[in-house]
């Protein structure tokens, strides 16, 4: 036992100083993320504590913090989910076009243009949505009111276009580059043997994509979608510019509703005392939602990866 272990120990390569330094820096970077996350959580909790012990009449709205924050959470979730539902199919379609249908030059150009959307500031998207996009949606809102007005989501139509639905569509454009980029890279990583095997068995190109590319790329698409959802949950300026804050309503095409980030951005500069704690507490709720979304996404991706085409 001793005789065999000595040669093994001698044959084991020594770690170079550069490897040790790089490994230490990588480990420190990983732990620093955890420390920063913990620091943010501690700050939010400590600053939000006064709200939970305050008299409900002193909270904005006069009915307690829960009544104040849940319409904001509703607006945030609805805007983000509608944006994700609109952007995901379009992003996956663009990614498939770039990776499997378009010629190389055309695909590169289209991918470059989509990636450029990620460089546009959110203020520009907000001004575009407010000045250009919102007025053009008014006829659609009127049509929805006339034909689907029996639903609570389309009871009345705004004549300005500054609605939660408009904000959702602008958010969809904003998260499109993230989902497209991740999906495109995942689809390009599909093993060539899988694609050739499907084609050799007589599958059409779409059947090959459906049976080989999409199963392989499903975990990556889910991950990219969750990244886009996280961007939509935290978007501030575009939503704050488009929406005209009002009372809570289930109607998606009428003025009213806002989101947690927009509420904080619009009121934080002038807030003080308990009002400041309210906004920080709202940020704490958003922090918890975002953390839950990312943890759920990680669990879904890990579970899907076990059954993906990669295996």
DSSP-derived letter for residue 119 is T
Query: Is the pLDDT at 286 greater than 50, yes or no?
Result: yes
Pull the structure tokens for residue 12: 């084991």
- Distance separating alpha carbons of residues 173 and 133, to the nearest angstrom: 12
Of residues 219 and 5, the one with the higher pLDDT is 219
> Around Cβ 146, how many Cβ atoms within 10 Å?
10
Delimit the domains of the chain by residue range: 54-307
Pull the structure tokens for residue 52: 């939970």
Q: Cα-flanking dihedrals φ and ψ of residue 259, to 5°?
A: -115, 165
Confidence of residue 10 (pLDDT cuts 50, 70, 90): low
Q: Are 96 and 210 in contact (CB under 8 A)?
A: no
Per-residue pLDDT, 185: 87
- Distance separating alpha carbons of residues 94 and 176, to the nearest angstrom: 10
pTM assigned to the model: 0.80
> Among residues of the chain, what percentage have pLDDT more than 90?
6
Per-residue pLDDT, 103: 86
- Distance separating alpha carbons of residues 18 and 34, to the nearest angstrom: 25
Q: Cα-flanking dihedrals φ and ψ of residue 265, to 5°?
A: -65, -40
Residue 164 contacts by C-beta under 8 Å, 6 or more apart in sequence? Answer: 75, 78, 79, 243, 252, 256, 257
Pull the structure tokens for residue 169: 């569509």
> Around Cβ 135, how many Cβ atoms within 10 Å?
14
Query: Is the pLDDT at 251 greater than 80, yes or no?
Result: no
Residues 255-284: pLDDT tens digits? Answer: 767 778 888 887 887 777 888 888 888 888
Confidence of residue 310 (pLDDT cuts 50, 70, 90): very low
Q: Which residue has the tokens 């945030």?
A: 76
Confidence of residue 294 (pLDDT cuts 50, 70, 90): confident
Residues 24-73: pLDDT tens digits? Answer: 888 899 899 889 989 988 998 888 888 887 777 878 777 778 888 888 88
Q: Are 186 and 220 in contact (CB under 8 A)?
A: yes
- Distance separating alpha carbons of residues 185 and 208, to the nearest angstrom: 18
Q: CB-based burial of residue 272 (10 Å sphere; 0-12 exposed, 13-18 middle, 19+ buried)? A: exposed
Q: Are 140 and 169 in contact (CB under 8 A)?
A: no
Residues 67-118: pLDDT tens digits? Answer: 888 888 888 888 889 999 999 999 999 999 988 888 888 888 888 888 888 8
Average pLDDT of the chain, as a whole number? 82
- Distance separating alpha carbons of residues 309 and 256, to the nearest angstrom: 45
DSSP-derived letter for residue 206 is H
CATH number for the region 54-307 comes to 1.10.3720.10
Confidence of residue 246 (pLDDT cuts 50, 70, 90): low
Q: CB-based burial of residue 9 (10 Å sphere; 0-12 exposed, 13-18 middle, 19+ buried)? A: exposed
Tallying the residues shown for the chain, one arrives at: 311
> Among residues of the chain, what percentage have pLDDT more than 70?
90
Angle between helices 164-188 and 65-96 (to 10 degrees): 40
DSSP-derived letter for residue 259 is -
Query: Is the pLDDT at 242 greater than 90, yes or no?
Result: no
Per-residue pLDDT, 229: 87
Mean local confidence (pLDDT), 297-307 = 67
């Amino acid at each position: 036992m001793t005789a065999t272990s000595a040669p093994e120990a001698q044959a084991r390569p020594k770690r170079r100083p550069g490897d040790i330094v790089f490994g230490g820096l990588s480990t420190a970077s990983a732990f620093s993320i955890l420390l920063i996350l913990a620091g943010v959580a501690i700050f939010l909790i400590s600053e939000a504590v006064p709200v939970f012990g305050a008299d409900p009449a002193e909270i904005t709205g006069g009915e307690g913090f829960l009544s104040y924050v849940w319409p904001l959470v509703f607006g945030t979730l609805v805007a983000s989910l509608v944006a994700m539902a609109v952007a995901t199919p379009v992003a996956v379609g663009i990614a498939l076009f770039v990776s499997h249908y378009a010629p190389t030059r055309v695909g590169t150009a289209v991918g470059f243009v989509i990636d450029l959307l990620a460089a546009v500031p959110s203020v520009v998207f907000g001004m575009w949505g407010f000045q250009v996009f919102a007025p053009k949606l008014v006829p659609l809102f009127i049509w929805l009111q006339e034909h689907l007005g029996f639903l609570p989501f389309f009871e009345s139509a705004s004549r300005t276009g500054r609605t939660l639905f408009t904000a959702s569509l602008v958010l969809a454009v904003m998260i499109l580059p993230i989902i497209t980029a991740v999906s495109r890279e995942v689809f390009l990583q599909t093993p060539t043997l899988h694609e050739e095997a499907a084609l050799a068995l007589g599958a059409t190109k779409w059947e090959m994509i459906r049976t080989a590319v999409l199963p392989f790329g499903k975990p990556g698409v889910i991950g990219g979608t969750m990244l886009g959802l996280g961007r939509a949950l935290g978007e501030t300026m575009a939503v704050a510019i488009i929406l005209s804050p009002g009372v809570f309503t289930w109607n998606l095409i009428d003025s009213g509703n806002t989101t947690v980030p927009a509420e904080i951005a619009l009121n934080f500069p002038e807030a003080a005392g308990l009002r400041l704690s309210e906004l920080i507490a709202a940020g704490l709720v958003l922090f918890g939602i975002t953390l839950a979304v990312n943890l759920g996404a990680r669990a879904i991706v890990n579970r899907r990866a076990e059954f993906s085409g990669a295996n």
